[in-house]
Structure 1
């Protein structure tokens, strides 16, 4: 076995252990002629995200200059004319994975106490596995404006327990919110007024008073029957938000947990 062949095998082993995201190297690298008459090592890598086979400079990988396929890197820095549409979504999912990873595994992350600190785990074998899963589950959906929510709020980030929800829904799916019962629904206490005011337009209590009573454990039927002092004068916050009502009324929206 020649020295060059042995060197190629050694580099191949190092490449397979490199931190290049989502790229595999099925064959050992080869030396190729470059400018100035010298030779340099290049290797063919297959991207698991875009499916393309491309050539990479081995030195750039080993010295940390190349960390991912150019399809993701190009989109991250503004995209390119040749970028495929799904690459943008892949990059966004990859960014979500990184954020979840920090919340679940980095004790110095400000959100760690609410996630990793209470046993919530990220149960995907790799960043690429997560991206491919999300692309398969939501092939025609852009993650922009949506957030990844756990169906079981006490469960893990794992296949089968993830759903996409608008930000306003995800903010309501937290342990800090106090839930009250209203006609078989679990409603965030601060949202109850919007539903009551919609169903009982003659109700005279304002939003803040309704929320306070709900937090005190007063049943919604008792809240409706109470009268405010004098004629009802809506306050600045006493405006029914149809989007909040739709969260509980639309069959297309996820159930509030």
Structure 2
């Protein structure tokens, strides 16, 4: 027999669950919560609480909006747009990149999620035009110590689908090997993944249209 879920007494953000509150029109369990901001109540679903979508009675959003309007004045800057984008793709299921971020459990640390100023303080000083935010551990979260500003090439090398290849006592991504040996990335990728060539052969064999292959060098 399944044990009925009970969130009563648990705290999520500023909300503490008081009691079940029935179900919504989709049959999802609702919970009545009290907010620590001053006694305001809120009713929300299990999923919203557990995923951090509802963390207050609405006061966090109001405070965040007031702070953004009042303090930083950077609404039109690349840094602010970067901050907005990482929030959207980790929290909004309708975002076109949500499946690769929030959909697989990637989150933004609470301090950054609630404050652009905190985000700008931690990562803004190292920003340069043309760079984009990159997670060092692609399975980790957006949080201090796990982000950097990266070039498009660095971003590509750090993607989850990148494959590491060992050759000549070294381990590199296919993109790195292709650059080092001046090979076309797709040619090298096909040799290693589709044709099953040993890494050393794939790296040292010139392409068919290369002069070295025709001259025997």
In the alignment, the residues of structure 2 paired with residue 21 and residue 180 of structure 1 have an alpha-carbon distance, to the nearest angstrom, of: 45
The normalised TM-score by structure 2 is 0.56
Q: Is the 8 A contact 1:20 1:68 kept in 2?
A: no
Structure 2 equivalent of residue 68 of structure 1: 69
Q: How does 1:210-229 map to 2 (within 5 A)?
A: 210-216=188-194, 217-226=196-205, 229=208
Which of 57, 62, 66 is the matching residue for 1:19? 62
Superposed displacement of residue 106, structure 1: 0.8
Whole-angstrom CA distance in 1 between matches of 2:160 and 2:133: 16
Measured in 1, the distance between the counterparts of 2:206 and 2:123 equals 49
Distance 2:150 2:136 in 1: 10
What is aligned with 1:36?
A: none
5+ residue gaps, structure 2, are: 1-37, 39-57
Q: Does 1:131 align with 2:95?
A: no
Instruction: From the CA coordinates, give the structure whose radius of gyration is larger.
Output: 1
Q: Name the CA shift for 1:219/1:129 in 2 (closer, same or farther; >3 Å).
A: farther
Measured in 1, the distance between the counterparts of 2:209 and 2:144 equals 55
Q: Give CA deviations for 1:153-177 in whole Å, capped at 9, x if unaligned.
A: 1111122211121122112222233
2:102 to 105, 111, 116: 116
Q: How does 1:131-150 map to 2 (within 5 A)?
A: 131-139=117-125, 141-150=126-135
Mark the runs of 5 or more structure 1 residues left unpaired by the alignment.
1-12, 24-46, 48-66, 78-90, 198-204, 235-257
Give the TM-score, by structure 1 length.
0.49
Kindly tell me: are residues 136 and 177 of structure 1, through their superposed partners in 2, closer, same or farther at Cα, counting changes over 3 Å? closer
C-alpha contact 1:147 1:166 (8 A) present in aligned 2: yes
Q: Which runs of 4+ in 1 moved over 6 A?
A: none
Residue 148 of structure 1 aligns to a residue in which SS? Answer: strand
Query: What root-mean-square deviation, in Å, do the aligned CA atoms of Structure 1 and Structure 2 show?
Result: 3.5
Give the count of matched residue pairs.
155
Q: Are the counterparts in 1 of residues 133 and 147 from structure 2 also a CA contact under 8 Å?
A: yes
